[in-house]
Structure 1
Amino acid sequence: MAESKNAEARVDVRDLTRQRIVAVARELYEEKGVQGLSMRLIAKRVGLPTMTLYGYFPNKIAIVRALWSMAFDPLFAAMRKAERAPAEPVQRLSLVANSIVDYWLEHPDLYRLVFLVEDRRERGDPNWYISETDVVASYMRLAPLIAAARGTPDIDCTAAAEALNCALTGIAHMRITVSEYPWAPSASYVDLILAGVIHGPLPARDLASPGQRSTSR
């Protein structure tokens, strides 16, 4: 029993240390940008030897990926909350779409961290971040919402969901990176985009599914 409690305590301490490392990495990113995400700077701020830090995260990209997950978790929670709203299908899709744009506009630092820092695979790591997390699946919750809003719940709207996600991210991107321009309220752009998604034609049926496509990397 004592050994079990000691093991649990060690796990708790390790988890707390990992959380502290991620929190410090975010602080350094906010202070110094990408240059702040160095193993040496993070270790120094946390109070660990640099080599000890490698025992928690094997490289910088592993810390960046942990930061990405930290950024995505509240976004997907906001999307799920909007999806559960007592609303008609079109309004529900609008609520979810606006929750995506609003989240990034409320957290521009996280937007830059997620979309302006490139993922890469380190030696011995065969996977991309999006292939080992639920990010794609969470965004693809838009597909059945689009199908319901179009009045065609049995139609596969995966490609339409991808296009919508690109458009919503584009709204956030332009408002964050070109903030000096007098943009209209983001909700008005979302309405225009949703009008096309709901009432326009769906992508060609022969559009390859994500699993059949090749990447540019």
Structure 2
Amino acid sequence: MRRHIADCALRLFQEDGYDAVSMRRLASEAGCTVMTLYRYFDRKIDILRALWTEVFAELFDRLDRVAAGEADPTHRLLAVSQGYVDFWLERREHYFLVFMSSGVTQSDVSVFVGDDGVVSRFNVLRESLAGALDGRPGEAELKLKSELLLCALNGIAHNLITISAYPWSEPQALVRAAVTAVLTRPE
């Protein structure tokens, strides 16, 4: 039943937006009572967070496989970075669900981002970057460069998805430029 509710919620959130779907409507679509919904999920945001968890699990399982398939550290970083952007480009509906759901507050997101299980999955990017940098940066610089890379990759995906009428460079060229920039040390 939990899976069925989540599947119904995913469809409704994608069709009408998170903000427009009430628990009563979701119960009707799922063919159950509102009380049944609350037996499985305390609040609507908990359903959305469960869906986010599934999306990120799919993304990071994919990136872990990509990373395991690349022996060269720089190629690994490039492949993982490209895989990150490609995932969102191939699953635009997931991108909108995760990054553009209206009616979601910063505190709703903070609870999700504060989950160590979710945050630790992003380490595939950090570890790939650390390998490509070959231990050169200190912890503060590695943190900064990891965050910069994630911002660049999210920005690439965001712009290619939401401003599709603009004649952007190919995603591979944009990712390669972002990775090159992060690997470059200022003189």
TM-score (norm: length of structure 2): 0.89
Report the count of equivalent residues: 182
Partner of 1:99: 83
Alignment of 1:104-119 (within 5 A): 104-117=88-101, 118-119=104-105
Look up the equivalent residue of 2:118 and give its one-letter code. Answer: V
Aligned counterparts of 2:105 and 2:13: Cα–Cα separation in 1: 16
Partner of 2:46: 62
Look up the equivalent residue of 1:95 and give its one-letter code. Answer: A
CA contact (8 A) 1:164 1:197 kept: yes
Aligned counterparts of 1:173 and 1:68: Cα–Cα separation in 2: 17
Residue of 59, 62, 81 corresponding to 1:78: 62
Aligned counterparts of 1:119 and 1:66: Cα–Cα separation in 2: 16
Higher relative contact order (CA 8 A, sep 6+): 2
Instruction: Provide the secondary structure at the position in 2 that maps to 1:128.
Output: helix
Q: CA RMSD in A?
A: 2.0
CA contact (8 A) 2:64 2:124 kept: no
Alignment of 1:87-166 (within 5 A): 87-117=71-101, 118-119=104-105, 121=107, 128-152=111-135, 155-156=138-139, 157-166=142-151
The one-character-per-residue Cα deviations of 1:70-118 (angstroms, maximum 9, x if unpaired) are 2111100111011101331100000000010000001111101111123
Change in CA separation of 1:97 and 1:46 when aligned onto 2, cut-off 3 Å:
same
Instruction: Provide the secondary structure at the position in 1 that maps to 2:40.
Output: coil
Aligned counterparts of 2:106 and 2:181: Cα–Cα separation in 1: 34
The structure number with the bigger radius of gyration is: 1
Aligned counterparts of 2:95 and 2:35: Cα–Cα separation in 1: 30
Unaligned runs of 5+ in 2: none
Structure 1 segments, 4+ long, off by >6 Å, are: none
Partner of 1:48: 32
* Residue 175 of structure 2 is aligned to residue 200 of structure 1: no
Report the alpha carbon displacement of residue 67 of structure 1 after superposing the two structures with TM. 1.0
Unaligned runs of 5+ in 1: 1-16, 202-217
Q: Percent identity?
A: 35
CA contact (8 A) 2:67 2:124 kept: no
Aligned counterparts of 2:48 and 2:144: Cα–Cα separation in 1: 28
Report the alpha carbon displacement of residue 35 of structure 1 after superposing the two structures with TM. 4.2
